[in-house]
Amino acid sequence: MNPFAGGSEPCLAGCTEADLLGRIRRWLGAACPPPPHGIGDDAAIIPANRRSLVLTTDPVIHGRHFDASVTPAQAAAKLLRRNLSDLAAMGARPEAALVSLAAPPQLRLDWLEGFYRALGRECRRWAVDLVGGDLSGTDGFLGAFLTLTGRPAGRRLLTRSGAREGDWIYVTGDLGGSLGGHHLSFKPRLEEGAWLAARRSVHAMLDVSDGLGKDLPALLPAACRAVVDASALPVALAAHRQAARDRRSPLDHAVNDGEDYELLFAVAPGAAARRLESAWAKAFTTRLSRIGRIEAAGRSDPRIVIAGETDGLESALHGYDHFG
């Protein structure tokens, strides 16, 4: 849906801020607690909690993260889920969100209604309180900036650091071709992330959002490289479909496309890894792939080596670069 009024559709230009805020609170519904715990005061108050606080932020921007082919409900779901995926990668559960909207006068009110109603539904679905935000006018730019707070799901949070030489590397789900639809329909791996953080054999974790090739180095300890087995990579059907349309291989898509929103983690090798695999199979239907291993490496070695039949994949492991 095109967010901008072309002719007679009611749009932001006809609203006062107070009117708009009233509508938004109505659209958000039960997702927004009464003030001072929700929208309506200078700041929102979250009751005390003995656990650590986990904070993350990610936007959706028109022309970058969504366009006129996307429904406002899909844009809203993507906004919240991108942030949920970051909490999942820490082993955290969500608590509260603030959303800042920057929008031009020609933004259609029915687009905005669809967006906030869906955001309210998504917040309830994932047990998030929408507690505050901001509305700012722009000359054409449309973006929504969400900040999400969370708390540890269990006793332990899992960071990107902590992987060791010899660890196996695992990834959830499938990789590549996300723009074919996955980027609008993915489910953040909150349950899986909480489960993994509770297992001591899992040493480090992150979410794959810019592509395996770009994100994997963050998992590697100093003086180590990742040796990835090409045949073990869970290449998504969508990556094959994309490859059939362009001149890139399915493997290239799996390694370099962004927006997978899967969990990538390092596990102690041997019996611990085997126990994890069999417990996983009982707990989840989510695909789990052991894609490689962390090995010692010299300074000048590449940080990632793709071993096996690489199907023409060049050494260009770039992922998605926002400004390049």
* DSSP, residue by residue, 133-193: EEEEE-SS--EEEEEEEEEESSS----S----TT-EEEEES-BS-GGGTHHHH----HHHH
Nearer to a copy of itself, 250 or 319 (CB): 319
Stretch that binds a copy of itself, among 82-90, 227-235, 236-244, 271-279 (CB under 8 A): 82-90
* From candidates 24, 116, 117, 149, binder to a copy of itself by CB under 8 A: 149
Q: Does 35 bind a copy of itself (CB under 8 A)?
A: yes
Among residues 86, 122, 174, 252, which is the contact residue for a copy of itself, using CB under 8 A?
86
Tell me the CA distances in angstroms from 67 to 61, 132, 179, 294, 310, one per residue in order: 9, 25, 12, 39, 33
Block residue for tokens 């970051």: 86
Least distance CB 250 / a copy of itself (angstroms): 25
Site for a copy of itself in 189-248 (CB under 8 A): 206-207
Cα separation of 85 and 132, whole Å?
A: 21
Which residues is 233 bridged to in the sheet?
A: none
Looking only at the bridges linking them, the beta strands covering 224-229 and 304-307 are parallel
Instruction: Show the CA angle centred on residue 82, arms to residues 17 and 236, nearest 5°.
Output: 140
Q: φ, ψ for residue 30 (rounded to 5)?
A: -70, -10
**Closest distance of CB 323 from a copy of itself, Å:** 5
Q: Which residue type sits at 178? A: S
Q: How far is the CB of 138 from a copy of itself (least distance, A)?
A: 6
**Window of 69-77, 140-148, 225-233, 251-259 that interacts with a copy of itself by CB under 8 A:** 140-148
321 binds a copy of itself (CB under 8 A): yes
Q: Scanning the structure block, which residue is given the tokens 């708390």?
A: 151
Contact residue for a copy of itself among 30, 45, 68, 281 (CB under 8 A) = 45
Q: Which residues bind a copy of itself (CB under 8 A)?
A: 12-13, 15-17, 20, 35-36, 40-59, 61, 63-64, 85-87, 89-90, 92, 96, 98, 100, 102, 105, 131-141, 143, 145, 147, 149-150, 157, 159-161, 206-207, 321-324
